[in-house]
Chain A
Amino acid sequence: MGLDFTVLADYRGVLALGAWWTAVLTLAAAALSLGAGILVALALLHGPRWLALPVRGLAGLFMGTPLLLQLFLIYFGLAQLGIDIPVLAAGILGLGLHFAAYNAEVIRAGIGALEAGQAEAARSLGLSRMQAMRHVILPQALRDTAPPLGGNMIALLKESSLVSVIGITELVHAAQRGISETYRPFEFYIAAAAVYYVLNLLMEAALGRIERRAEASR
């Protein structure tokens, strides 16, 4: 059986739609993971003591178990509890929370590295604790941790393929649909890999720009 990439032509609409959903999922989940990551980091560093334990436990759960399983639990498990959420929301929630746990670790370390000197300097200027965190510490911590956070976001892009198993028609799912109709797995997976590669490059370029801007503000 030779290779025949022309079969892809009929499916370019499906593949393009898959790529679109992959991009949407990734961006939405990335935003969630950053926001939630910051909140978790703050809760762990400055939250009330009773909050620290369960938050740390939950974060550990998200890091210590497979993402696939978290998607199953959120989608099928919540449904069993009578909470029916749309599949796309389940995908974003799963991806976002999973990576929020990882981001929180990074951000917490970033804040920790800054805190002593910078916080004192900010407080001595008369800023409140909240203000110091919001205007002085957090922006610097995010800038310093931009490279590892970027690494997490690239991982998120790739792992977004896992939501295909709960039935979101993202890129891999779209490729699988094409394959089930044409039985041309080789061509479709190569195409999907190529699209991931391009998305990856786009993301790296965007992250590179952010990092350079962050670097310039040192």
Chain B
Amino acid sequence: MGTRSRAAACLGAASIGRKNALVLILTASMLGGCSGSYSWGWYVVLPTTAQGLSNIQFLLSGLWQTVAISLCAVAISAPLGLLVALPGLARNRWIRSINRIYVEIIRSIPILALMLWVHYGLPILLGINFSAFTSGLITLIVSDSAFTAEIFRAGIQSIDKGQHEAAEALGLNYRDKMRDVIVPQAIRRILPALGNQFVYIVKMSSILSIVGVFELTKKANELTTTIYRPLEIYTFLCLEYLVLVLIISAGVRRLERWLTIDRRA
């Protein structure tokens, strides 16, 4: 459990309780309300006017890209992270160093620099151009897989030695032992950390706007350049991300409850 709580602490334990959801929304609108002398222009995102409604539709049209790219990234990087984690558990120093090199290098490069490199640098090296979406996806996958690998490694290492021995004493081979005994237990234990990492990816997908992926942030930037109302538009954008994050947190908690039901009593 030590590694688990530490992993959660490292990631800042970003999962937000349902009770807090209300507080968040309230705070967000309070921030909107305290104005002073400034005259707010909420009409730009008010669904009651035709203009506001079409603005909202425009802003929300980036939702699909944000969701799709985050889900794709997580779906690929989670198994990839497990694959990267496994050599990190080997006894052989050289095999272990494969894991260390991958994780250390990727984790020390800012995701923004990685993305710019993938989008503008890699095509020169390979001679193929990536669409903004592809570059963004590659970036998120590469970055996330390194973090996920560390989470998996910590989770697998936190499983009691007795579990390995019991499985080995029954004559299970390495693959069966990991697949049926160790990894399922590790996954239950690291679920909160994986959830936080997913939240991180959703938030980080905002930087894909910089290379031109038409996700939520890019849409907001575009709208800001036509109607100069950054405060209102970005506040609305904040709410969009908040809702996404709250949905993910709730989903992860559901999953956790479902997986631990009856198991630990």
Check A105 against B12 for contact (C-beta < 8 Å): yes
For A148, list chain B residues within 8 Å (CB): 6, 9-10
A160 to B245, CA, bound (A): 22
Contacts of B16 in A (CB 8 A): 60, 63-64
A1 and B242: CB pair below 8 A?
no
For residue B170, CB closer than 8 A to chain A, the reply is no
The reply to whether A102 and B12 form a contact with Cβ atoms under 8 Å apart is yes
- Number of B positions contacting A (CB below 8 A): 55
With beta carbons under 8 angstroms apart, the residue of A54, A151, A186, A189 that contacts B10 is: A151
Given A158-B110, A196-B109, decide whether A61 and B27 contact each other with a Cβ distance below 8 A.
Answer: yes
Task: State the CA gap A196–B6 with chains docked (Å).
Answer: 25
B12 touches A63 (CB 8 A): yes
Question: Interface code B191-230, partner A: CB below 8 Å = 1, 0 otherwise?
Answer: 0000000010001101101100000010000001000111
Judge whether B230 and A185 touch: CB under 8 Å.
no
Partner of B108, one of A147, A176, A196: A196
User: Are A73 and B238 neighbours in the complex by a CB distance under 8 Å?
Assistant: yes
Q: How large is the interface on A (under 10, 10 to 19, 20 to 34, 35 or more residues)?
A: 35 or more
Q: Is the CB of B234 closer than 8 A to any CB of chain A?
A: yes
Instruction: Work out how many contacts link A and B, with CB atoms closer than 8 A.
Output: 165
- Indicate if the CB atoms of B124 and A1 lie closer than 8 Å: yes
- Interface stretch of the complex, out of B82-90, B112-120, B172-180: B112-120
Q: In the complex, A61→B210 CA distance in Å? A: 22
Of the listed stretches B18-26, B57-65, B155-163, chain A binds: B18-26
Instruction: List CB contacts (< 8 Å) of A166-218 with chain B.
Output: 171-172, 175-176, 179, 185-186, 189-190, 192-193, 196-197, 200-201
- The verdict on B74 contacting chain A, using a C-beta distance below 8 Å, is no
Q: Is residue A109 contacting chain B, with contact meaning CB distance below 8 A?
A: yes
Tell me how far the C-beta of B34 lies from the nearest C-beta in chain A, rounded to whole angstroms.
10
Of all chain B residues, which has the CB nearest A161? B110
Give the residue of A77, A101, A172, A179 whose beta carbon is less than 8 angstroms from that of B12: A101
Q: Tell yes or no: B259 within 8 A of A by CB.
A: no
Docked Cα-Cα span, A192 to B125, in Å, equals 17
B122 to chain A, nearest CB (A): 8
Asked if B30 is at the interface (CB within 8 A of a chain A CB), the reply is yes
B12 touches A67 (CB 8 A): no
Determine how close the nearest CB of chain B comes to the CB of A84; give it in whole angstroms: 13
A115 to chain B, nearest CB (A): 16
Docked pose: A165 CA to B117 CA in angstroms: 16
Tell me whether A185 and B20 are in contact in the complex, defined as CB-CB below 8 angstroms, given that A66-B217, A80-B229 are known contacts.
no
Q: Give every chain A residue within 8 A of B124 (Cβ-Cβ).
A: 1, 185-186
Q: Knowing A61-B28, A64-B24, A196-B108 are in contact, say whether A73-B235 is a contact too (CB < 8 A).
A: yes
Shortest Cβ gap from B126 to chain A (Å): 11
Nearest CB on B from A6, distance (A): 16
Q: Cβ of B217 and Cβ of A158 under 8 Å apart?
A: no
B111 in contact (CB, < 8 A): yes
CB distance from B125 to the nearest CB of A (A): 6
Give the residues in chain A near B245, CB-CB below 8 Å.
64-65
The distance from the CB of B69 to the nearest CB of chain A, in whole angstroms, is 14
Q: Measured between alpha carbons, how far is A105 from B242 in the docked complex, in Å?
A: 18
Q: Does A76 contact B (CB under 8 A)?
A: yes
Known contacts A164-B112, A185-B124; is-contact A66 B27 (Cβ 8 Å): no
Given known contacts A171-B113, A193-B117, what 7 new A-B pairs fall within 8 Å (CB)? A65-B237, A66-B241, A72-B230, A77-B230, A102-B12, A109-B9, A172-B116
Contacts from A to B (Cβ < 8 Å): 1, 53-54, 56-58, 60-61, 63-69, 72-73, 76-77, 79-82, 101-102, 105-106, 109, 145, 147-148, 151-152, 154, 158-162, 164-165, 171-172, 175-176, 179, 185-186, 189-190, 192-193, 196-197, 200-201
Can you name 13 A-B pairs with beta carbons within 8 Å? A53-B26, A57-B30, A61-B24, A61-B27, A61-B242, A72-B230, A73-B230, A76-B224, A80-B231, A81-B38, A106-B13, A162-B110, A176-B116
User: Interface residues, chain B, CB within 8 Å of chain A?
Assistant: 5-6, 9-10, 12-14, 16, 20, 23-24, 26-28, 30-31, 36-38, 105, 108-114, 116-117, 120-122, 124-125, 199, 203-204, 206-207, 209-210, 217, 224, 228-231, 234-235, 237-238, 241-242, 245-246
